[in-house]
Amino acid sequence: MSTFNVELKKIVDDSYEIETGFGLTDKLISDIKNGLVGNITKFAVVTDSIVKDLYAADILDKLKEAGYHADLFVFEAGETSKTRATKELIEDAMLEKGYRRDCCIIAVGGGVVTDLAGFTAGTFGRGVPFINYATTVLAAADAAVGGKTAVDTPLATNLIGLFNQPEKVYLDIAAWKTLPARQVSSGLAETIKHACMASKDLFDYLDEHMDEILNIDKAACEHISNENCRIKYEVVMKDERESGLREILNLGHTVGRAIETVSDYRLLHGEAVSIGLAAQARLSHKLGYMTETQRDDVIRLLKKAGLPADIPDYIDREELVKKLYTDKKVRNGQLRFVIQKGIGGVVEFESGVFALKIDESTAREIIYEM
Amino acid sequence: MSTFNVELKKIVDDSYEIETGFGLTDKLISDIKNGLVGNITKFAVVTDSIVKDLYAADILDKLKEAGYHADLFVFEAGETSKTRATKELIEDAMLEKGYRRDCCIIAVGGGVVTDLAGFTAGTFGRGVPFINYATTVLAAADAAVGGKTAVDTPLATNLIGLFNQPEKVYLDIAAWKTLPARQVSSGLAETIKHACMASKDLFDYLDEHMDEILNIDKAACEHISNENCRIKYEVVMKDERESGLREILNLGHTVGRAIETVSDYRLLHGEAVSIGLAAQARLSHKLGYMTETQRDDVIRLLKKAGLPADIPDYIDREELVKKLYTDKKVRNGQLRFVIQKGIGGVVEFESGVFALKIDESTAREIIYEM
C-alpha cells in the first residue's frame, strides 16, 4: 500500500456586489463593457415567459447593440418549471446554439429564474459565470445573498442544486411596479421575517412606511432592499454551509413550507411564510419568549403588508400537522422550530443551536388555534 | 442607486489522500470508522451492473456489518449511461430511500461511475461528500486526480458537470485482475500519455516492465499508479481551472476524441487516445520537435501495451478531419494541437500556451499517412 497526498488548499474569493436601483439595464451593459465578466462576449439570457417581454428582451437587444453575441432562453413562468427537465432544456438549447465554456449566463426574473439559471451556470462546462438581474420583491430579499441555487424534484424541494455565487446582482425596484399587488405582498414576507429575527429598527420602519412600500416608493424600497441584504449577509457570511446559525433564516418556514404544500400551492410562498411567522410568534408567546403585545405586533404588521396571518379554512389541520415532519430541520423524528425572541432576535437554545424541539401536541395546539 | 458588497473571501481546503493497494475494502471501512467523513452514518454506494457483484456488494455488506445505514444504487455499465437521466434516477432513488444532506456517496467502479457519482454528490443537497473506490486502470490514471466530474449529453461529452474533489480515492490494483486484457491495455494509454508529456523515467519504466504491468504485477502497477498521480497532480495543482497548463493533458486527444466518435465507439477511449498519441508524435517529428527514433519509440511502446497506433481501415479519413473541428481547443475555427517535445515534455509555444495552431492540410497529411 502507498499513499499520495493531493494538496488543494487555496484562497477563494467569491465576493460580489449587489446594486439596487430604479431601472438598471443600462448599468448592466456598461458594467459588462467595463469588464464585469472579463473578456467574455457570449451571453445566454435566461428568463421566464412573463419576464421575457418585460425586461429580458430589452436586455438582449442592448447586449446585441453593444456588439455581444446573445440569445434568449425562455421557460414557462412558475414554480413548477423549477425542475431538472427545464435545466436540461436550457442546457441543450445553449449547446445547440454553440455555447460552450466561454459564456456567461444572465438570469432575468424572480427567484425561480435565478435559482434555475444559477444552478445551470454552475454545471455548464463545469461552471460558467452568471449574473442575477432580479425583478421581484421576493428575489430581492431571498435570492440576492446566499448563493443557494436549486431545482425541485417530485420528492423534495430545493434538494438538487449548488452553492454558487453570482458575479453581480442587480435588484431593479422599477420592476416591482410590474408585479401584481399580491406578489408584492408575498415578497414582503421574507423582509418581515428578517425584521422579526434580526432588526427592531427594520420592523419599526416597515410599520411606519408600509404604504409607501406597497406603492413602490423608491426611497422606501431601496431602504428595505439594503436592509434585507445586510441582515441576510450577516447571517450567511457567518455560516456559509448552513450548519447552525443559518437555520435562523428558517424562521416561520416550518409551518410555512408545510402549509404551502398542503394548500397545493394556492398560497404563494410568501403568504405561506406569513402564516408560518404568525404561528411561530404564537408559539414564542406561549413559551414565554415574546409578550402578548409583541406577538400581536407581528401579526398586525403581516396584515398591514396585505398578508394572511391565519390558516385558511380549506386547510386540513391534521394533514398540516403530519406535513410538519417533512421539514428539513426534523431530526430523529422530532419537530424543531426556530423561535423569535421579542422583536428583532431569535432564541439561541444552546451555543450555536437555534432550532428547538417542539412536541407535536404543542404544534397541534397552535395550528388548531389559528 | 446604492450598492452592497458581499465579501466572500475564504480559505478552502479540498486536500485529500489517494491510497493505492491490493484489496482496499477493509481499509475503506476502517477509514470511515476512524472519521474519514466525520460522523456521517448513511452511505449511498453507487456502482454499475458489472462492478456491483465484483466489489460494490462486498463494500455494502461490510458497511452494514460495521453498523452503518447503506444502500446500493446500480446503473447499467457503459459510457452510454453517463447521462443526466442516470443522475436523475440515482437522485430519485436516494430521495425515495430517505437520503438527505447527511449522507456520503461512495463511487465503486471505473471512470463512468466516478464521474457520474462525483457529479451527483456535488449537487445532492447542494453537495454531500463522496469517496472514489476506483477499480480500473483508466480510472487510476484519469479520475483519481483533478476533480473533474461530468455527464455526456447528445451534443457534447463531459460538458455538464462540476469540479468536485473527493474525500479520498482508493485505487485497488487487485480489481485490475478482473478486467479483460483489452480494458487493461486501453487504460494504459493515459499512463503512456503521462510519460510522453512529463517523464522520460516513466517512459523507460513502462518500456522495461510492460509484461509485468500487463500481468498486473503488484509492485509494477503500484509504481505506475503513483507516477500517474504525481504527474497529473503537478499539472492540475498548477492550473485547477484548466486555463493553460492543464491543456497539456490533452496530448493525443485531438485526434483521439475525434476518432473515438467517428469509430462510433468501436474503439475504446484508450485505444482512440493511443492512435491520437501516435498521430501527434508523427506531427511532432514533422515539425521538428522529435527525432525519428523518439517518434518510433512512442509508437513501439503503444504497441507493446497492446494498443493500436494506426488508423483502422474502416475509418473515413475525411470524416475524421472534419470531426477534428469539434475539439474543445478549437478557437475561431482554427485547429490546435498539444505537441510532444522529445520524450517527457511538451512544446510551450509562448508563455503559458501549449496548444499550437495546425493547418488542416498538415493534419490531413498525417491522417492519410496512418
pTM confidence score = 0.92
Identify the closest residue of chain A to B240 by CA–CA distance.
A8
Q: b vs e for B21-52, b when ≥16 Cβ sit within 10 Å of the residue's Cβ?
A: beebbeebbebbeeebbeebbbbbbbbbebbb
- In the predicted model, what is the mean pLDDT of residues B97-109? 94
Q: Which residues contact A293 (CB under 8 A, 6 or more apart)?
A: none
- The interface predicted TM-score of the complex, written ipTM, equals 0.91
Handedness of CA B273, B279, B280, B281 (dihedral sign): positive
- In the predicted model, what is the mean pLDDT of residues B324-347? 89
Q: b vs e for B178-195, b when ≥16 Cβ sit within 10 Å of the residue's Cβ?
A: ebeeebbbbbbbbbbbbb
Residue A328, helix vs strand vs coil: coil
- In the predicted model, what is the mean pLDDT of residues A341-345? 95
How near does any CA of chain B get to the CA of A288, in Å?
33
Handedness of CA A159, A161, A166, A171 (dihedral sign): negative
The answer on pLDDT for B235 being more than 90 is no
Q: Which of B309, B286, B301 is nearest to B343 (CA)?
A: B301
Instruction: Write the single-letter amino acid at A85.
Output: A
Q: Are A1 and B12 within 8 A, CB to CB?
A: no
What does the alpha-carbon distance between residue A231 and residue A228 come to, in Å, rounded to a whole number? 5
Q: Are B124 and A163 within 8 A, CB to CB?
A: no
What does the alpha-carbon distance between residue B347 and residue A22 come to, in Å, rounded to a whole number? 53
Per-residue pLDDT at A237: 76
Which chain B positions have a beta carbon within 8 Å of A22's beta carbon?
1
Kindly indicate the confidence band of residue A243, based on its pLDDT and cuts at 50, 70 and 90. Answer: low
- Range of lowest pLDDT (A279-283, B6-10, B38-42): B6-10
Cα A323 off chain centre by? 22
What does the alpha-carbon distance between residue A134 and residue A172 come to, in Å, rounded to a whole number? 6
Per-residue pLDDT of B124-172, as tens digits, reads 999 999 999 999 998 888 878 889 999 999 888 889 999 999 999 999 9
Mean residue pLDDT of chain A comes to 93
Q: Are A20 and B1 within 8 A, CB to CB?
A: yes
How near does any CA of chain A get to the CA of B300, in Å?
30
In the 8-state DSSP scheme, what is residue A83? B
Which chain B positions have a beta carbon within 8 Å of A161's beta carbon?
123, 126
Strands A9-13 and B9-13: antiparallel
> Is the separation of the CB atoms in A323 and A262 below 8 Å?
yes
- In the predicted model, what is the mean pLDDT of residues B181-210? 96
> Is the separation of the CB atoms in B170 and B133 below 8 Å?
yes
The answer on pLDDT for A242 being more than 90 is no
- In the predicted model, what is the mean pLDDT of residues B192-219? 96
Instruction: Write the single-letter amino acid at A83.
Output: T
What does the alpha-carbon distance between residue A337 and residue A197 come to, in Å, rounded to a whole number? 13
Per-residue pLDDT at B123: 98
Interface mutation vs chain A, best among B126, B194, B221, most A CBs within 10 Å: B126
Q: Are A15 and B27 within 8 A, CB to CB?
A: no
Question: What number of H helices and E strands is found in chain B?
Answer: 14, 12
How near does any CA of chain A get to the CA of B170, in Å?
9
Taking the CA atoms of residue A150, residue A154, residue A157 and residue A158 in that order, the dihedral angle to the nearest 10 degrees is: -20
The answer on pLDDT for A286 being more than 80 is yes
Per-residue pLDDT at A241: 57
The answer on pLDDT for A204 being more than 70 is yes
Q: Are A92 and B13 within 8 A, CB to CB?
A: no
Kindly indicate the confidence band of residue B244, based on its pLDDT and cuts at 50, 70 and 90. Answer: confident
Per-residue pLDDT at A352: 81
Cell numbers 395550528 label which residue? A367
Per-residue pLDDT at A104: 98
Residue A172, helix vs strand vs coil: strand
> Is the separation of the CB atoms in B299 and B324 below 8 Å?
no
What does the alpha-carbon distance between residue A119 and residue A110 come to, in Å, rounded to a whole number? 14
Per-residue pLDDT at A302: 98
Give the nearest partner residue to B9 out of A13, A123, A126, using CB atoms: A13
Q: Which residues contact B188 (CB under 8 A, 6 or more apart)?
A: B137, B141, B206, B213, B270, B305, B306, B307
What does the alpha-carbon distance between residue B113 and residue B87 come to, in Å, rounded to a whole number? 11
Which chain A positions have a beta carbon within 8 Å of B7's beta carbon?
15, 237
Q: Which residues contact B175 (CB under 8 A, 6 or more apart)?
A: B54, B55, B135, B136
Q: Which of B177, B168, B179 is nearest to B144 (CA)?
A: B168
Cell output for A134: 432580479
Q: Are B328 and A101 within 8 A, CB to CB?
A: yes
The answer on pLDDT for B242 being more than 80 is no
Per-residue pLDDT of A97-142, as tens digits, reads 999 889 999 999 999 999 999 999 999 999 999 999 999 998 888 8
Per-residue pLDDT at B240: 57
Burial zone of B152 (CB within 10 Å; 0-12 exposed, 13-18 middle, 19+ buried): buried
Per-residue pLDDT at A179: 93
- In the predicted model, what is the mean pLDDT of residues A233-254? 79
How near does any CA of chain B get to the CA of A10, in Å?
5
B361: number of Cβ within 10 Å: 8
Q: Are B20 and A13 within 8 A, CB to CB?
A: no
Cell numbers 435562523 label which residue? A248
Which chain A positions have a beta carbon within 8 Å of B100's beta carbon?
156, 159, 328
Identify the closest residue of chain A to B159 by CA–CA distance.
A125
Per-residue pLDDT at A143: 78
How near does any CA of chain A get to the CA of B129, in Å?
13
Mean residue pLDDT of chain B comes to 93
For chain B, what percent of residues have pLDDT higher than 90?
A: 79
How near does any CA of chain B get to the CA of A20, in Å?
5
CA dist list (Å): A145 to A167, A352, B351: 12, 21, 39
Q: How many inter-chain contacts (A to B, CB under 8 Å) are there?
A: 182
The answer on pLDDT for A52 being more than 90 is yes
